Structure 1
Amino acid sequence: MTTTPPESHPRLAIAVLCAAGVVVAVMQTIIVPLIPSLPTLLKTSQTNASWALTITLLVGSVITPIAGRLGDMFGKKRMVVASMAAVSVGSAVCALAPGLFVFMIGRGLQGLGIGTIALGISLMRDIVPAERLSGSVGAMSASLGVGGSLGLPFAAAIADNLNWHALFWVSAAVALLAGVAVVVTVPDHGTPTGGRFDYPGAAGLTVLLTCILLAVSKGNEWGWGSPVTLGLFAGFVVSTIWWCRWERRRENPLVDLRLNVRRAVLLTNLASIASGFAFYAMQMIPIQILMAPTGANAAGSLGFGLSMVLASLVLMPGGLVMFVFSSVSAALTGRYGARVSLSLGSLVMGGSYTVLLVMITGPWAGNWMWLLAANILSGAGLGIAYSAMPALIMRWVPVSHTGEANGVNALMRSVGTSLATAAVGMILSASTVAVQTSGGTAVPLPSSGAYVWGVCIALTTCLLATVTALSIPARRPVDEETVV
């Protein structure tokens, strides 16, 4: 359903929204080239410096469903502009930061913009003709992969040739321009639902997500049996029980649980968790192999000895392929349905891990071409799958809850990436070999067996996503036809 006449197709607005999505996705990866030098730059320890990455992902996961609900209530365009403003201000704060505390405030503000992609998808339902909606949503979904693939070389080039302050000043300027472009070009035809915002529900959601995401992402570092980790898991259980009871009693809840436990919506979200896991595992494994020293091959590990810039350039085509295949997903969805597109995309992602597995276990000497092929396959699968998820969500939820439902779906993908960080990170660190660097020092790197286990687990999640997608009902029951 759309409120826009079929003859009105705001192509420029769609391009601007996709560009805003790319900007936000870049913010998640621009800090990666700085990680080794952050303790020196911010005058802190390596452990404390890791929070500069964690805080952005944590804030982004929490704000995504909240921003979606606020978009439904007060206007999706308004929330997109606010998100881009937060990214711009946060980038400026990072550029001026004298130490870790202020830098983390800036990174947290950048995280407030992560809900832009889910908001943009929901906004498109209001402004794009129905016959063009699938392709537009696919392009917006694919902006995540494009931004992720461009982020590393973009950040590494600026950090190498200028300085780390310039990296964040450029980010602030780009985010500001994107926000202004949204104001100028994007129409706002949707009707906000209004109502009173559920502040206790937002606080409860923040607590439960903080508990589970911190426990999962930091459990390997703190120890899975440590009092802090166990306390966070306990806090998650208690806060989740309270939050669910609160939301069920609310007349205008932050998250409509009855809507999100419908079979089609629930299965789509479960498939999104598995797809998010597969997506981030592909970010974690190839980059380590590409950048590990070549001596790792003789020591029982894998390494091709590339610099970060070269390694990121090898992986960059995956994001561009993701964008191209979002249009393929739209065509498949139009002909066979979004559930078929989601299952096919998950299968193609499984193919990328099969390539990795063959490279690692085969009797031949691997090279970066294998990882390029795996990354391209992964990008194709992600382009198909990620574009199908919003199409499924919007098919099964009312227009008045589009922002909320897409926010929850984006949150499920974030949960999947957090699980990948924990599971794959734990596996790769559990089995290591000592490898001599060119400087003569020995560094621990994942063994080839650890890579095999990591790849096999990611391949399994792809198969689970395929089965889950095929379990989604092909047609909406008659009694639910009237809600959309």
Structure 2
Amino acid sequence: MAVTLESPVRIGKLAIGALGTLALALGTLQAVVEPSLPLLQRDLGIGNAEGALIFVTLLITGAVVAPIAGKLGDRYGGKRVLVVLMTVVSAGGLFSSLAPNLPVLLLGQVLQGAMVGALPLSFILVRKHLPPGQTQVAVGIVSGLFTGGSLVGMLIAGPIAEGLSRHWMFAIPTIAIIATTLIVSRLMPDDPPAESDSRIDWLGVILLSCTLVALVLGFMAVTGGGLPPLAVGAVTVVVAALATGWVAVERRASSPMVDLRMLTTPAMWGSCVVTLLMSLGFGMAAYLVPQLFDVSAEGYGFGASSTDIGLFLVPATIAGVAAGAVGGIAARHFGPRAVITAGAIVTAATLIALASLHDAAWQLVLARTLIAFAVSVSAVALLASTATAVAAEDTGIATSLLVVTRVVGIALGAQIGAAILGAGTDPVSGLPAESAFATSFVIAGVIAALSLLVVRVMKKGTRA
């Protein structure tokens, strides 16, 4: 069992503000792709499948990096690992800003994906340096500011890409990340590493990473169409074999990457399943709404530019920012289950309503805003309750598993949405049928509604 070498220094608002500022810069870099995705597709000469790949590449890397970052942060200190990750993210931002083609841009997105590990590392720091009663609020603030960065990204992506170039929309947030990382390094006190004579379970790390990558890439290949049944079966067998191997290794490891006993508790597995289901619905909406705005106004769409799409998504981003603070406070006062239940109901109802109510821009704006608020409130409540429901030395790995689950869910949701649109595309006009959008929204709503069945088994209590 790990033993902390010394009591950590308590931190104040300035240090939390530094973490939040870094989260703001990271959210900005992450968000520039969504409103400019149609522009990137045209500029690079790629279709819906390749566009969805740009959207999910960062998320795939994040799914791999987050649990590793959380585990290393638990062992060696959150601040130390955070600074290393931000160096990788900065390199990725530079690659994306200089990318002349799709492969280089994808490489930049792969490196940028390390930013997903910043959230569990931030949760480690606030758990170590704050009293238990303030941890949930701090988690909400950091999460909210990460979402707040999305607001900045949504606003600057279109004007910068259209006024300067798509290269600068990556470069400017990258410069901000470099600057804010230096501020965090100076203001945030060092958190002492844990003393342990056990080794990192690298085999478990590798197997989990391979499982996640195989799952997402395999799902992309299957939803992309064209694979024979034998190939689909082979993909399924590979993912199942990797997952089985990971479980076998973790059960035998003296110091496993993930304590499987922790995963069997209703609070933990319930949180993971709810997060996955709601993230699937959110990922579909996040991909579909910009595509619907981009469809020619001569048909059922709106013919919006990247700048217009970014402006249309601003209210949703503001709602996500507000949800960060509201989620932590609401979870503290009303309990996580009540907050998550309300969020799931609003998300499912709004998605299903979008199937028929998408004739006016305000309908899409309102629906996207409600979905963003409901999903973000639920995500913060899940993260905050998990951060206090597990032992202190497991904070990083437990919260990173939720972050990974959310990332994978959003990535798979985007792929599902892209696959449905691709299947419903007219080969002559190259435009998806309106019914393809309606079908996608209904499926997304049903998936989100399934999370209500899981919420009932989640435990209310948390550990101090």
* Normalised TM-score (structure 1): 0.86
Deviations 1:312-339 (A, max 9, x none): 2111111111221332223322222112
Q: Give the AA of the match of 1:328.
A: V
Structure 2 counterpart SS, 1:219: helix
Cα distance in 2 between the residues matched to 1:39 and 1:294: 18
Q: CA deviation at 1:23?
A: 2.7
- The one of 308, 311, 316 aligned to 2:309: 311
Q: CA deviation at 1:86?
A: 1.0
Q: State which drifts further: 232-241 or 215-224.
A: 215-224
Q: Are the aligned partners of 1:126 and 1:188 in contact in 2 as well (CA < 8 Å)?
A: no
1:357–1:48 Cα change, 3 Å: closer
Q: Are the aligned partners of 2:41 and 2:51 in contact in 1 as well (CA < 8 Å)?
A: yes
Partner of 2:331: 333
1:227–1:157 Cα change, 3 Å: farther
User: Residues 276-355 of structure 1 correspond to what in structure 2 (within 5 A)?
Assistant: 276-297=279-300, 303-355=301-353
1:401–1:432 Cα change, 3 Å: same
Deviations 1:292-328 (A, max 9, x none): 112223xxxxx12211211221111111112213322
Q: Are the aligned partners of 1:393 and 1:406 in contact in 2 as well (CA < 8 Å)?
A: yes
Q: Give the AA of the match of 2:164.
A: L
Q: Are the aligned partners of 1:127 and 1:188 in contact in 2 as well (CA < 8 Å)?
A: no
Q: CA deviation at 1:57?
A: 2.3
User: Residues 187-336 of structure 1 correspond to what in structure 2 (within 5 A)?
Assistant: 187-189=189-191, 191-194=193-196, 195-225=198-228, 229-297=232-300, 303-336=301-334
Structure 2 counterpart SS, 1:444: coil
- The one of 151, 156, 164 aligned to 2:158: 156
Cα distance in 1 between the residues matched to 2:60 and 2:167: 23
Partner of 2:23: 21
Q: Percent of aligned pairs with the same residue?
A: 24
- The one of 366, 375, 381 aligned to 1:388: 381
User: Residues 424-439 of structure 1 correspond to what in structure 2 (within 5 A)?
Assistant: 424-433=417-426
Cα distance in 2 between the residues matched to 1:50 and 1:374: 22
Q: Are the aligned partners of 2:154 and 2:313 in contact in 1 as well (CA < 8 Å)?
A: no
Is 1:183 the counterpart of 2:176? The answer is no
Is 1:475 the counterpart of 2:464? The answer is no
User: Residues 61-100 of structure 1 correspond to what in structure 2 (within 5 A)?
Assistant: 61-97=63-99
Q: State which drifts further: 229-238 or 407-416.
A: 229-238
Q: Are the aligned partners of 1:348 and 1:377 in contact in 2 as well (CA < 8 Å)?
A: yes
Partner of 2:392: 399
Q: Are the aligned partners of 1:4 and 1:128 in contact in 2 as well (CA < 8 Å)?
A: no
Cα distance in 2 between the residues matched to 1:44 and 1:378: 29
1:240–1:109 Cα change, 3 Å: same
Cα distance in 2 between the residues matched to 1:286 and 1:169: 26
Partner of 1:438: none
Q: Give the AA of the match of 1:261.
A: T
Q: Are the aligned partners of 2:354 and 2:441 in contact in 1 as well (CA < 8 Å)?
A: yes
Partner of 1:465: 451
Cα distance in 1 between the residues matched to 2:19 and 2:72: 18
Cα distance in 2 between the residues matched to 1:261 and 1:96: 45
Partner of 1:300: none
Q: State which drifts further: 186-195 or 125-134.
A: 186-195
1:146–1:226 Cα change, 3 Å: farther
Cα distance in 2 between the residues matched to 1:375 and 1:165: 27
Q: CA deviation at 1:157?
A: 1.8
1:142–1:425 Cα change, 3 Å: same
Q: Are the aligned partners of 2:60 and 2:411 in contact in 1 as well (CA < 8 Å)?
A: no
Structure 2 counterpart SS, 1:450: helix
1:15–1:359 Cα change, 3 Å: same
Deviations 1:253-297 (A, max 9, x none): 112111112111000110000121122122122212212112223
Q: Are the aligned partners of 1:145 and 1:319 in contact in 2 as well (CA < 8 Å)?
A: yes
Q: CA deviation at 1:189?
A: 4.0
Cα distance in 2 between the residues matched to 1:147 and 1:85: 19
Q: Give the AA of the match of 2:218.
A: A
Cα distance in 2 between the residues matched to 1:373 and 1:135: 27
Q: Give the AA of the match of 1:321.
A: A
Question: Can you give the 5+ residue segments of structure 2 that lack an aligned partner in the other structure?
Answer: 1-6
Cα distance in 2 between the residues matched to 1:381 and 1:84: 29
Partner of 1:363: none
Cα distance in 1 between the residues matched to 2:404 and 2:454: 18
Q: Are the aligned partners of 2:266 and 2:457 in contact in 1 as well (CA < 8 Å)?
A: no
1:62–1:226 Cα change, 3 Å: farther
Partner of 2:364: 371
Q: CA deviation at 1:458?
A: 1.6
Q: State which drifts further: 32-41 or 333-342.
A: 32-41
Cα distance in 2 between the residues matched to 1:340 and 1:48: 39
Q: CA deviation at 1:355?
A: 4.0
**Number of equivalenced pairs:** 456
Q: CA deviation at 1:47?
A: 7.1
Partner of 1:146: 148
Structure 1 counterpart SS, 2:194: coil
| RCO higher in structure (CA 8 A, sep ≥6) | 2
Q: Give the AA of the match of 2:95.
A: V
Q: CA deviation at 1:353?
A: 1.9
Q: Give the AA of the match of 1:422.
A: Q
Partner of 2:3: none
Q: State which drifts further: 272-281 or 127-136.
A: 127-136
1:397–1:200 Cα change, 3 Å: same
Deviations 1:119-151 (A, max 9, x none): 212321112232322222112223443333432
Q: Give the AA of the match of 2:304.
A: L
1:119–1:229 Cα change, 3 Å: farther
Q: Give the AA of the match of 1:30.
A: V
Cα distance in 2 between the residues matched to 1:337 and 1:398: 19
Q: Give the AA of the match of 1:322.
A: G
Cα distance in 2 between the residues matched to 1:136 and 1:24: 17
Q: State which drifts further: 84-93 or 66-75.
A: 84-93
1:308–1:212 Cα change, 3 Å: same
Question: Can you give the 5+ residue segments of structure 1 that lack an aligned partner in the other structure?
Answer: 298-302, 361-365, 435-441
Partner of 2:440: 454
